[in-house]
Amino acid sequence: MVSASPIGIVAEHARSIDLARKIADAGVRVLLHLPRRVALPDRIQRVERVATPTDIGFECGVVLTSIRDSEAFKDLLIGTPERAGLGADMQPGSILVDLAVRRPRELQALLGLLGTRGIALADAAVVRTEAVALDGPPDTVFVGGFPDAVAQTTGVLGLIGHVMITGRLGSAHTTATVEAYAMVAKRAAAIDVDALGRAMGVSVATAAFADCQSNDVDDELELHHRFEIAQRIAEDQGLDTRTFAQFRGVGLRSAPQTPAVQRGYSAP
């Protein structure tokens, strides 16, 4: 069941506009906070852009966040010497859904901070589905957390895509990293197949390899990020990470240079 109150989205990139649009298309009002540099393409019915996360915290019972840098995300939630955090603005009984990908132990630490305010936390990851038709399959949304928290999110997340409950807090992000790792491994295999195909004069292998490289830049950057998180999770669990070193950069195009992430969240 979707809450009667508006849904809040605090994000740092334009891809969150698609999420806002999907929720709004279902007749739900959305309050959206993005950096000023990110322009809304057109006015979207039932989507209201707000100046600060505070506007969202006071009014929204469910808040979706997509802030990749963990230090910036922590500053957003608990605040800085200059401003209060979103966690202080949200009402007890509210739930925050983290759509970025980070390690389970980071989420557990954030849950401890938010829990003192009576705010629940769930993690979610949207897996893009390339539909061949307008009525093709929706995106898949992994969601993890305590059962009560997950139950509060499924109505909203179900407007974005097909919801799959993955387990405890952190399991959705872990599932997303496993998917990224599998994709990298698949690309590495495609390179091997391509090399073999070229040696044997088989053009089909080359075509399959080219198709494997056809991701757009945004997906490529996200893949790099999730692969890095996968390696960190493995390190946290004391696993052998030599396989990650083997696959690092294999089959991945050189990611374009992006500005360094600014430490600390500041509402633009």
Three-class DSSP labels, 147-159: HHHHHHHHHHHCC
- CATH fold label, 7-169: Rossmann fold (3.40.50)
b/e burial code for range 150-180 (CB count within 10 A of at least 16 → b): bebbbbbbbbbbebbbbebbbbbbbbbbebb
Q: Comparing 54-58, 89-93, 158-162, 222-226, which segment has the lowest mean pLDDT?
A: 222-226
Q: Check: CB of residue 85 under 8 Å from CB of residue 75.
A: yes
Q: Rounded distance, CA 229 to CA 221, Å?
A: 13
Q: Give the model's confidence band at 50: pLDDT under 50 very low, under 70 low, under 90 confident, else very high.
A: very high
pLDDT tens per residue across span 77-86:
888 888 888 8
248 vs 142, residue with greater confidence? 142
pLDDT tens per residue across span 211-263:
454 444 345 556 566 666 666 666 666 666 565 555 555 444 444 443 333 33
- Interstrand relation of 83-84 and 47-49 (parallel, antiparallel or unpaired): unpaired
Q: Tell whether the model's pLDDT for residue 7 goes beyond 70.
A: yes
Neighbours of 224 (CB within 10 A): 16
- Mean predicted confidence (pLDDT) in 96-107: 87
Q: Tell whether the model's pLDDT for residue 102 goes beyond 80.
A: yes
Q: Comparing 25-29, 107-111, 193-197, 259-263, which segment has the lowest mean pLDDT?
A: 259-263
36 vs 23, residue with greater confidence? 23
pLDDT tens per residue across span 154-210:
999 999 999 999 999 988 888 877 776 666 666 666 666 566 556 655 555 444 544
| Mutual angle of helices 203-212 and 171-200, in 10-degree steps | 150
Compute the Cα dihedral for 87, 92, 98, 99 and give only its sign.
negative
Annotate 72-109 with DSSP letters as a single string: HHHHHHHEETTEE-HHHHSPTT-EEEE-S---HHHHHH
pLDDT at 254: 40
Q: How many residues does the chain have?
A: 268
Return all residues near 86 (Cβ < 8 A) that are at least 6 apart.
Answer: 10, 53, 54, 56, 57, 63, 65, 76, 77, 96
Return all residues near 85 (Cβ < 8 A) that are at least 6 apart.
Answer: 75, 76, 77, 78, 79
Q: Rounded distance, CA 119 to CA 255, Å?
A: 37
pLDDT at 183: 65
